[in-house]
């Protein structure tokens, strides 16, 4: 089975699982185009079931989800932009903060008002800190 994203005016409105042959007889009454997407693709890399890159075909840069955009020129799904200050990485088609997230074993969240990373207090960070 494969995943397909319904794209209307460049925006993903639905994602389904189907065999490609399904579309041979499918008469979709709604406007838009069904474009194949890969559940195992993120940032232009294909990942195996173990979560590690496996060298497979990375289809359209990212797995499509509702609200994402599809850029036909790049042939890429681009996630919804959550923060105005973030910039698009042209290689991965993922949004990135204008400054790198600290890598120190703590958990951080982006603060758009301050344009910076804020430390999540340990009591709210969960067990992975």
3-state class (DSSP) for residue 74: coil
Does residue 31 form part of some domain? yes
Element (H, E) at 35: strand 33-37
Does residue 67 form part of some domain? yes
Instruction: Dump pLDDT digits (tens) for 6-55.
Output: 999 999 999 999 998 898 888 888 899 999 999 999 999 999 999 999 99
pLDDT for 1 equals: 84
Does residue 21 form part of some domain? yes
Does residue 120 form part of some domain? no
Q: Report pTM.
A: 0.85
| Residue 28: domain span | 2-81
Does residue 115 form part of some domain? no
Structural domains in the chain (count): 1
């Amino acid at each position: 089975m494969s995943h397909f994203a319904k794209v209307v005016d460049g925006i993903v409105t639905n994602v389904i699982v189907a065999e490609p042959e399904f579309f041979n007889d499918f008469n979709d009454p709604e406007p838009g185009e069904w474009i194949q997407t890969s559940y195992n693709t993120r940032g232009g890399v294909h990942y195996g079931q173990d979560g590690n890159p496996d060298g497979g075909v990375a289809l359209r840069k990212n797995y499509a989800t509702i609200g994402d955009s599809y850029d036909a020129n790049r042939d890429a799904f681009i996630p919804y932009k959550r923060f105005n200050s973030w910039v698009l990485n042209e290689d991965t088609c993922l949004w990135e903060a204008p400054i790198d997230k600290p890598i120190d074993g703590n958990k951080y969240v982006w603060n758009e008002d301050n344009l910076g990373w804020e430390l999540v207090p340990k009591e709210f960070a969960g067990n992975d800190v």
